Every structure is written in structure tokens, then in C-alpha cells.
Amino acid sequence: MFSGAQLSLYPMSDDFVGIILGAIGALDPWRDRLRVQTDDLSTLLVGPPEILFPAMRDLFVAATRTGVHCTLHAIVSRGCPGEPDDPICTPQGGLPPGRPLAERIDHACTQVRLAPLTGQKVAAQFALYPLGLGHHMDEIYGCIDFLKATDVFDGSKNFCTRLRGDAGPVFQTLGQAFTGFGAQAGHVALDVTLSANSPSKV
């Protein structure tokens, strides 16, 4: 299986170069488990699906610690049939494949409750796409049930779901949505935008 995230960070600051480079430095502790490639458009993280969101959390929190308004946009994918298998992407932990939807929801909720706090508040909106499944709406509705059971659920809007709260539980919620719903060995994509320190927060 291949899993990875293509992400772009946008600090609303004249010092955007320093903030971006400093945030990328927060990925250093993850480099033994991830392949990291940065160019002028985005940073690619390739590795186990369970590791992608903690690494993105650390990058985003490092940028937002400056106090400036920052956004992050990421497209995350696992099991894409157009990408070759890569041993670095071997899943680590989680539930065994084929567990019932109710069990996966309970497991995901427990993982969110156990997520460490960072002290940084963030808002997010995301959409989950379980591809190539005849019963994809069952997986999406199951994911929505999971999201509504968390403390970071902030409502639904057209084409996506809002989350709000500490970055720790928010990123854990995104990670559980990505790894816990859709076929275990199937193609799943997630599109997410996060914001912190926004002057227009509602």
C-alpha cells in the first residue's frame, strides 16, 4: 500500500519564509518513519497512514506558535492504485482489518479522547472520500457518526465537516477518519484545510 500527504502551509506574515522553514524543522523527529520531499509548491510526506497526521500536527503547531494567522491545506491518500507499494507505508497498529463499523467508531472515539493536548486551538474543515466501494456511503455515514461523538465536532457544511478545538484531538480525529473508514486495503482520500490564530474567528 502507498500512503502519503501533499501539504502546503500559508503563514500570513512578512516572515513567511522563516515560519515555513521552522515548521518543516518540526518534521525532523519523524524522518526515520517518513520520506519527506519539499519543493516550491508543497511538502510530500510518505509513510504509515497512522504517522501522517501526528507529523502534520507538529508542523502546523510549530508554525502557529508564532501567533500569526496560519492555514494548512493537505490532500491525504492511501491505497491509490496508481502508486507503487512502498514498505515505508506499512500500517502500524490500529484495529485488525475487517472489523465491524460500530467497533471502528468506538475505537476511533477512544483514540481521540486519549489524544495529547498541545495548547493550540485550531479549526478545520475536511471531506473524506472512500473510493471504489459499492457501499461507500455506509462508511461516510459511519465516519459522520464518529465525528458527532467527539468533542471537536463543530458542525456540517456543504461538502465537508467542521472541527474545532485543541490541535491534538483535532489531528487525531482527522487521522482516525482517514485510517478507520473506507476499505482497509482500498483507496481512501481526505482533503483538509486548517486555520489557527484567525482574526475572523467565529
If 0-12 CB within 10 Å is exposed, 13-18 middle and 19+ buried, where does residue 130 land?
Answer: buried
Residues 1, 151: Cα–Cα separation, whole Å: 32
Average pLDDT over residues 30-59: 95
Is residue 29 scored above 70 in pLDDT? yes
Residues 189, 128: Cα–Cα separation, whole Å: 6
Each residue's pLDDT tens digit, 109-155: 999 999 999 999 999 999 999 987 667 888 899 999 999 999 999 99
Among 17, 25, 29, residue whose Cα is nearest residue 68? 17
Quick check: 162 and 202 in contact, CB under 8 A?
no
Residues 119, 100: Cα–Cα separation, whole Å: 34
Among 86, 77, 157, 94, residue whose Cα is nearest residue 124? 157
Average pLDDT over residues 65-69: 94
Average pLDDT over residues 19-25: 94
Among 62, 74, 51, 1, residue whose Cα is nearest residue 26? 62
Average pLDDT over residues 154-166: 96
Is residue 104 scored above 70 in pLDDT? yes
pLDDT, greater one: 27 or 84: 27
pTM, rounded to two decimals:
0.94
Residues 144, 111: Cα–Cα separation, whole Å: 16
Each residue's pLDDT tens digit, 40-50: 899 999 999 99
**Where does the pLDDT of residue 202 fall: very low under 50, low under 70, confident under 90, or very high at 90 and above?**
very low
Segments of the chain assigned E as strands: 3-11, 35-38, 43-46, 70-78, 121-130, 153-157, 160-166, 188-196
Within 13 A of 135's CA, how many CA atoms are on the CB side?
7
Domains of the chain by start residue, with CATH: 3-196 (3.30.70.930)
Which helix (H) or strand (E) is 113 found in, with range? Answer: helix 101-113
**Where does the pLDDT of residue 51 fall: very low under 50, low under 70, confident under 90, or very high at 90 and above?**
very high
Residues of the chain with pLDDT > 90: what percent? 75
Is residue 91 scored above 90 in pLDDT? no
